[in-house]
Amino acid sequence: MISDKDKNTVYFSDILRTSSEFRATFERIQSLLDKYQVSYRFLSNTKDIWCRDYMPIQISEDKFIQFRYEPSYLEDDLDLQSNPQDILKNNGLTAEISSINLDGGNVVNWTDKAILTTRIFKENPNWNQSELISELERLLNVQVLLIPDITNDMTGHSDGHLRFINSNTVLVNELQNEFDYWKKGFDKMIKNSGLTFVEMPWFEHLDKKHKHTAVGCYVNYLEIGDLILFPVFEVSGNKDEQALNIIHSVFPERIIEPININEIGKYGGLLNCTTWTIKQYAPQHSV
């Protein structure tokens, strides 16, 4: 697979730039991409802004796997369930099709390994678990590592828990306030994989109007080449300063740009969720 640091092009749902609710926030993201001359494009025919989840996963520069996108959390909101094959067709993209039901946000990868939560089993009940993992390893051409699915987490995605710093190290939400069963499962993954980890602070932001808010989750940043757009929240109880210190310490050679996107975050996703990143041979600036 291709690591985020080796990707050079960002895609967004066209809804981000056309919706009056998100336009101002998106323009702040856009200005930073323009500042560093990062190539970006827009996807038409999408039904929501979380394009990481319904777009294909890149295996190599010319190979993509499109998984089935029928998440259980959208069973009662089918008007928000984008059709990946329609999006591919409408945007002139191609991919190999898999029948496995898998959101892109539940795949956090390096070149030779990918971390998923056990939500993958709930989303594919007709598969034998070991056969499912074997098929995923074949399709992705990596070792698949598992961490627990948090039961009350709507999406069950791994990109809300951790990210790769390098081939040997992950950045994970601070373990102190995690559920015991999650910590045990994470420790098991670490021991079995030989990975090490650095902890990133996080906090719970109570929002009565938006119970699935992602405000407080720092690991859902956008990494594209040498640039990291890093979420800061600027609300009561935030840990912005500590989080910025850590992201600078683990990525000393990168450009770190803090950005507040709470107007998006309150709906349950942040910078990784709202982007689909790939490596292209000759990226264009924008379309």
Contact 46, 87 (CB under 8 A): yes
For residue 287, the model assigns a pLDDT of: 41
Handedness of CA 278, 80, 48, 275 (dihedral sign): negative
What's the CA gap between 273 and 55, in Å, rounded? 11
For residue 257, the model assigns a pLDDT of: 99
The residue extents of the domains of the chain are 4-278
Contact 54, 12 (CB under 8 A): no
> From the DSSP assignment, how many helices (H) and strands (E) are in the chain?
9, 15
For residue 206, the model assigns a pLDDT of: 84
- Alpha-carbon separation of residue 107 from 1, 56, 144, 241 (angstroms): 11, 11, 9, 28
Contact 217, 188 (CB under 8 A): no
Write out 112-144 in H/E/C secondary structure. Answer: CEEEEECHHHHCCCCCCHHHHHHHHHHHHCCEE
For residue 110, the model assigns a pLDDT of: 98
Q: Which amino acid is at 189?
A: M
Beta bridge partners of 278: 9
Q: pTM of this prediction?
A: 0.95
Q: Which of 101, 104, 97 is nearest to 57 (CA)?
A: 104
Sheet with 143-147, strands from edge to edge, namely 108-109, 113-117, 143-147
For residue 175, the model assigns a pLDDT of: 98
Domain 4-278 has CATH 3.40.50.11540: no
Average pLDDT of adjacent 10-residue blocks, the chain of 287 residues: 97 97 98 98 97 97 96 88 94 96 98 98 98 99 98 92 98 96 98 98 89 95 98 97 99 99 97 98 57
What's the CA gap between 280 and 7, in Å, rounded? 7
For residue 266, the model assigns a pLDDT of: 97
Write out 167-235 in H/E/C secondary structure. Answer: CCEEEEECHHHCCHHHHHHHHHHHHHHCCEEEEECCCCCCCCCCCCCCCCCCCCCEEECCEEEEECCCC
Per 3-state DSSP, the chain is made up of helix, strand and coil in percentages (nearest 5) of 30, 25, 45
